[in-house]
Structure 1
């Protein structure tokens, strides 16, 4: 589901119906937000590009509006209008390829977020140019994770751990470890899946990691990953192997990992230091790990 393995651990006197409803909701949300299912609600909007405004589910509208706001940050890599470029490369799928310069140029001409026209009064979205596609892949898992945690709280679940693959949400504490915080492993990009370079304690927090080590394409001696420079249309050139954001809301982790990934280490550290309730773990391609909390203490001492 959602292109990954999802796990959920929760504590409740009657866990089975709650677990069943979480599974149902995950299927609903996948159908609602997917850019890879031609019949999803999001893709129905994309099929109307250049034609007419499309009335969308309020949750999808809310995420598109949030995504458009942050997509207008000129120096970030977050752009929800990047769908045509993502599908041109299709990294992470069996038909992934290196596009021609002309194909990249054509795709880029369809990725201006200013051409996403929102109508709050009717919950409609109009994509001005035919061929435009919104892709919420950089935000949806975090948004969905927050919705699931909210549902658990309405059911009076106080302790749970939700892993959406790259997004881990910790509610309350780990009662099997005497109420200690949940322990979230940060993948070592240079090692096999499940081998960690550090462990983060988390309680009522989200841990989101974005990296270049899983979804990628190698052609000859050239390595391409799935995080694109919105201006050039090619994968960002970076010395960063992974960026982890720890925050209260998972969608915030999605926003800032996407905006900041590919930036120089010092830029990431300076930016995160200005954000309340958020910290970052950066692992560079040479295996060094950096914690923004250490940077923040050093810069204010």
Structure 2
């Protein structure tokens, strides 16, 4: 998954449960990967324009959720974005700025409406050859939620599932007197572990998306990895990072991607209208904006 994973729980059989959780995460990575030619997801992509492919129920579920949100062109989420991601290759050593002709060609392959789903047979068909589904914007949240359900079913009442930029907390903190967990919000203008603030949360998910880790510079201009499906270029706005606090991690993944196209104050205004979802937005001008529900739970770090 391209990140460091940290799992901690409080339970009599913690070693067994953590090993099982690790096995499940490795299995998810193997089956859902858009970069492993042997993954089940890649079998779908390799069969684009040729035939429908039967997939596992969990992959089908996530593709179905992803498509439902992707067909709304007003947001940034698009699980059919794969061909564009692999054209730019931002985050890899061979990243480049493609030609306009290359971008225009890929734009014809990233329409989520061309993903056909057969609920009865759990089959996925991509209508055009060259199409590719990429679940990277959703997968970690989905995985975290699945691991949480497994651990809670096993009787775990306290723990942390940290999938790098995606933190899901089980229950209350075992030591802190106020029972709240402290989750750091990265300062997007400084190196890792330099914080812009701390969130006090309990039994919540904290997901952050930003333009500060996967970037490259060409001819003096910086490009990041969050793309606009209409233009084929990285999204242009005043957002440096967006953090979502919610009950489920998948919700956080969806919202950090969906809302990244909006302007900072609009994000706060819209999230304030959504029950059980909160946000922290850091702009490129270093302004920190928070939703009403976090007024007493966000501590700015000077």
C-alpha distance in 2 between matches for 1:38 and 1:194: 34
- Within a 5 Å distance, the mapping from 1:106-255 to structure 2 comes to 106-178=105-177, 180-255=179-254
5 Å matches for 1:23-62? 23-62=22-61
Structure 1 distance, partners of 2:115, 2:261, is 25
CA distance in 2, matches of 1:46, 1:294: 41
C-alpha distance in structure 2 between counterparts of 1:36 and 1:178, whole Å: 44
Report the TM-score when normalising by structure 1: 0.96
After TM superposition, the structure 1 = structure 2 runs for residues 88-99 of structure 1, keeping only pairs within 5 Å, are: 88-99=87-98
Alpha carbons 1:49, 1:128 under 8 Å: kept: yes
Deviations along 1:138-187, one digit per CA (max 9) or x if unpaired, are 00000000001011001100001111011000101111224611110000
Contact in 2 for aligned 1:84/1:110 (Cα 8 Å):
yes
Structure 1 unpaired stretches of 5+: 297-301
- Name the residue aligned to 1:75: 74
1:112: how far off? 0.5
1:63 matched to 2:46? The reply is: no
* 3-state DSSP of counterpart to 2:261: coil
Match of 2:291 in 1: 292
Is the Cα contact below 8 Å between 2:160 and 2:170 reproduced in 1? yes
Aligned equivalents of 2:27 and 2:201: distance in 1?
28
CA offsets, 1:251-296, max 9 Å, x none?
0111111110031112211221221100100001111111011799
CA distance in 2, matches of 1:57, 1:95: 33
CA contact (8 A) 2:75 2:261 kept: no
Given that residues 145 and 250 in structure 2 are in contact (C-alpha distance below 8 angstroms), is that contact kept between their aligned partners in structure 1?
yes
Q: Give the match for residue 281 of structure 1.
A: 280
Match of 2:207, SS?
strand
Deviation at 1:68, TM superposition (A): 0.3
Q: Structure 2: state its 5+ residue gaps.
A: 296-302
Q: Which residue does 2:267 correspond to in 1? A: 268
Q: TM-score, normalised by structure 2?
A: 0.95
How far off its partner does 1:220 sit? Answer: 2.4
The 8 Å contact of residues 239 and 262 in structure 1, kept in 2 or not, is answered as: no
Question: For 1:16, what is the secondary structure of its paired residue?
Answer: helix
Looking at structure 2, the residues matched to 35 and 286 of structure 1 have their Cα atoms a distance apart, in angstroms, of: 34
Deviation for aligned residue 1:10: 0.6
Partner SS state of residue 25, structure 1: helix
Q: CA RMSD in A?
A: 1.4
